[in-house]
A and B are shown apart, each in its own frame.
Chain A
Amino acid sequence: MSQRPITEYLAIDLAKEVWVCRRCGRELGNARENYKFGLLLRERDPSEIHSSGLNEARFYPDPSWCRIVEMFCPGCATLIEVEYLPPGHPLTHDIEIDLDSLKAAIQGKRSV
């Protein structure tokens, strides 16, 4: 089993060193890079998620302060990650696993 689960929706194929969608199996790019590069992104106005249908300030995030960035698997459209960011703020490289050390650790376990 060379696929190591990393998040609810992402695994790393240790042999190929690529990110893989755990729902549809689609390969999503170089596991030594930010998995977000391989996803499809959509910007949402916070009112679309949080307004409860009310048009009241402070009952949902202020759209001029806060945007929602949704990131989907291009294969199955599963929502793999969401970021809340001020408009124009760079996205976060949230998972940067040391692949060599991970492989070594797994090797170590196996050999034990």
Chain B
Amino acid sequence: MALDTSFLINKRYKPEPMTPQEAEAIQLVSHEDYSIFTQRLASACEEGKEILVRLGIAGPLQSGDVCLSFHTAQGDLALAEMGTFLHAITASVPMKFVLKHYKNDPTVGLKDGDVYFCNEAVYGGLHNPDQIVFVPIFVEEHLVGWVAAAGHEPETGAIEPGGQPANARDRYAEGLKVPPVRIGENFKIRRDMLEFFENMVRYPEMISIDTSVKLSACLRLRTRLLEIVENRGKDFVIGLLRKIIEDSAVAAKNRVRQLPDGKYRCVTFLDTYGPAEALIRVPCTLVKKDDTMVADFTGASPQLPGPYNAFEHIVYAHLTCMLFQYYFSDQPGSSGTLVPFDVHCTKGSFLHADSQAAISSCTAMAPLAGNAFMLCLDKAMYASGEKEILANVAVPPGASVRAFFFGGINQFGKEVAGVSLRPGNTAGIGARPDKDGVECGSFWWVGRGNAVDVEHEELLYPYFGEYCNFAPDNAGPGKYRGGAGLTYGIRLHRTPGFYVQTFGLASRYPANPGLFGGYAANVRPGIRIVGADWGKVDADPDVPTPRNEFELLEIAKKVGIQVQLTPVQIPGSLFTAGDFVGVVGSGAAGYGDVLERDPEAVARDVASGVITRWAADKVYRVVLREDGSLDSQATAESHRQERLKRLAEAKPYAEFIQEFLQKKPPADALALYGNWPDPAAEKRPGVAEPVSATQA
């Protein structure tokens, strides 16, 4: 990298120190003005969002995977309408880069009307499908602020379609990566730049239209800010933007103070690095002191030879998703809100890889770090005993997001590429201390985002949904169970050839642990049926078509169909009409002891198909009659028996740990793990060591 990008190491996505001008300008903003004009900025952001949603081409734009934001002259995020909470930090660093390196460079410079673009993580962005357009705002000769519009474009000209290639071994396999670059002047995008973008990707129409739409949204925000300047002067606006940051910071610190000081820990594991399966360690220690919180990921596995790497700021961005949906769900999308909160990832670990690493699937992996962090935070929040904080305690949403990426010739003979949003944006919401999670209720990174109709996907792409229902036994059991994700099986249809990659993780190792005794959400494979096999089902009208993956297996056995169960994350391949591909979206984990679950609720879950009879019997120990109704007496007895069994089988800690620590996963599983069991530790701790190696 020719130019210095040390911003990220220095965490410059956080607010810069206040300038004297800002400090003075804040005094101009009264309570009343403050309330009035923050309303104005917020509604301007919504206006901008509406423009992306109504005019954007990429599915993710309609689904709300976008962000519109106002920034100070220094580039700090003052206020954003976050579809995607990730973007709480992504636009600031590119702006600061432009200020540091280009503003005073005679070959570039920075002037009114400039239009900038960035989709490069090394310069502060996320993975390259997340593309940001940003525009400086000048009043006379003074830079008073910036506006940005970001959104996910599911095609980047990488070695596989869809923007997240499983086979990428380094950055050079991941396609279009643009550092902060001026793509337009005088508020117009240069035609040659659009031509350049179109030339780099499989779906030219999408990137050129959406980039133009993002500019249009930026200009809307700019217009609104200038109207305030007109009414109240530029100093007022400078003060307003800074005051939002300052007040958000105070509010956030006050809330952090309410958590008990201490250390809270959670360790989760990733079971793929893209090209193949491997056990990867994701340990989180949340250190809370006074009004600060640090999420420390020391002990994570080393950098991976695949796309499941991240940089530290990307991990941070994923933690903000949990903060803004739970702990700070009532706080404004401002960099001030994040002031009390920090992250540490070891350089060289897969969470903080070097700049050459492939990272395009960071957004698939980093939610595990997010969930580990959230489970630590949940424990601190619960222990705070504060009513309004308890109301935000919840097992995090399903993080093992699974989807299809694809590209090829669609039913209209047109080349398209993209992602199926249906399974990806419909993860389960986790269980809560007083209620179950919600089926298909979460789009992990996007607060107010949506999925799309089955008919919507079938209108655009050459396949039809064979089944699309809640996935049975896919969420985590507990006193309150997690919300289920959906199970989605598609048949390729009306296409000469369509490249499909099933995408995601947790086919061997569960990615979503529960809270306070709740079990984890389940693993699931990728499912394929190739060749004319499926014709056997269509041929015989008396063979019922499957309603979920369980019935699919049954039918396959009965009719003699070859079903391939693969890790969900495998490199894609070319399918033709008639082939079948299936994935199962992410369920969420449970809360509390299964034996405390209301047996009636278990019966209801069986009736609605969210859990199987097997689970009711073997996991919940609930006795149902033939007709599915609850046998309360028998259930009470079976619960009593299970408690006795627990006490009979369980062992004291020291005795248990002695035996347990003798074990070890197979060598092939640990190929990329790093030093077992703690990649950070110099040498393996003593076997009898009774305290966890995950202590910081």
Give me the interface of A with B, judged by CB distance under 8 Å.
Answer: 4-9, 34, 36-43, 46, 48-54, 56-62, 64-70, 72, 74, 76-98, 101-102, 105
Contacts and interface: CB of A to CB of B under 8 A. Distances in A.
Contacts, number: 234
Given A79-B593, A93-B695, A72 B550 contact: no
Given A65-B509, A82-B518, 12 more contacts: A5-B382, A8-B516, A52-B550, A52-B614, A58-B524, A59-B522, A59-B524, A66-B509, A93-B695, A94-B379, A95-B383, A102-B260
A42 B513 CA distance: 17
B565 interface: yes
29 contacts: A7-B382, A8-B479, A8-B592, A9-B517, A40-B651, A40-B652, A41-B656, A42-B651, A46-B510, A58-B523, A58-B565, A60-B522, A61-B523, A64-B669, A65-B509, A66-B269, A67-B660, A70-B646, A70-B650, A84-B269, A87-B660, A87-B664, A88-B665, A91-B660, A94-B264, A94-B379, A96-B263, A102-B261, A102-B262
B620 to A, nearest CB: 11
B663 A65 contact: no
B473 A90 contact: no
Contacts of A51: 614
A52 B677 contact: no
Contacts of B509: 61-62, 65-66, 84, 86
Contact of A88 (B519, B656, B677): B677
B612 interface: yes
Interface in B604-658: 612, 614-615, 618-619, 643-644, 646-647, 649-654, 656-657
Interface in B436-494: 472-473, 477, 479
A38 B654 CA distance: 10
B671 interface: no
Contacts of A67: 660, 663
Nearest to B511: A84
Interface string B266-286: 110101000000010000000
B265 A41 contact: no
B660 A69 contact: yes
Contacts of B269: 66, 84, 86
A88 B523 contact: no
Contacts of A97: 260-262, 383
B520 interface: yes
A95 to B, nearest CB: 6
Contact of B643 (A5, A36, A50, A77): A77
Interface string B117-149: 000000000000000000000000000000000
Contacts of B413: none
B21 interface: no
Nearest to A4: B385
B517 A8 contact: yes
A49 B279 CA distance: 21
A58 B472 CA distance: 14
Nearest to A35: B653
A88 to B, nearest CB: 4
Q: Which 9 A-B pairs have the closest CB atoms?
A: A40-B650, A87-B663, A58-B525, A88-B663, A79-B593, A97-B262, A41-B656, A8-B516, A77-B643
A42 B643 CA distance: 12
A15 to B, nearest CB: 17
B692 A49 contact: no
B594 A77 contact: no
B567 interface: yes
B647 A74 contact: yes
A68 B649 CA distance: 14
Interface of B: 260-267, 269, 271, 279, 376, 379, 382-383, 385, 433, 472-473, 477, 479, 507-510, 513-520, 522-525, 550, 553, 565-567, 591-596, 612, 614-615, 618-619, 643-644, 646-647, 649-654, 656-657, 660-666, 669, 676-678, 685, 689-695
Contacts of A82: 513-514, 517-520
Nearest to B563: A56
Given A43-B656, A49-B519, A86 B665 contact: yes
A101 to B, nearest CB: 4
Nearest to B383: A6
A50 B476 CA distance: 9
A23 B466 CA distance: 47
A56 B261 contact: no
B692 A80 contact: no
B530 to A, nearest CB: 18
Nearest to B640: A77
B517 A79 contact: yes
A57 to B, nearest CB: 6
B653 A61 contact: no
A58 B502 CA distance: 15
B569 to A, nearest CB: 11
A94 to B, nearest CB: 5
Contacts of B516: 7-9, 80-81
A89 B262 contact: no
Contacts of B653: 36-39, 41
Contacts of B263: 93, 96
Contacts of B593: 9, 78-80
A2 B261 CA distance: 18
Nearest to B654: A37
A96 B264 contact: yes
A60 B521 CA distance: 10
A69 B657 CA distance: 10
Contacts of A98: 260-262
B128 to A, nearest CB: 30
Nearest to B262: A97
Contacts of B553: 54, 56
A85 B656 CA distance: 14
A68 to B, nearest CB: 8
Given A5-B385, A50-B473, A65 B271 contact: yes
A96 B695 CA distance: 10
B461 to A, nearest CB: 26
A60 B523 contact: yes
Contacts of B685: 90
Contacts of B523: 50, 58-62
Contacts of B267: 85, 89, 92
A40 B510 contact: no
Contacts of A89: 267, 677
A97 B288 CA distance: 9
A91 B657 contact: yes
B452 to A, nearest CB: 27
Nearest to B689: A90
Contacts of B566: 58
B597 to A, nearest CB: 11
B517 A80 contact: yes
A88 B510 contact: no
A36 B261 CA distance: 20
- Name, among A80, A96, A98, the residue most crowded by chain B CB atoms within 10 Å (CB to CB): A96
Given A66-B508, A95-B264, A83 B689 contact: no
Nearest to B666: A64
B665 A72 contact: no
A94 B385 CA distance: 18
A109 B685 CA distance: 41
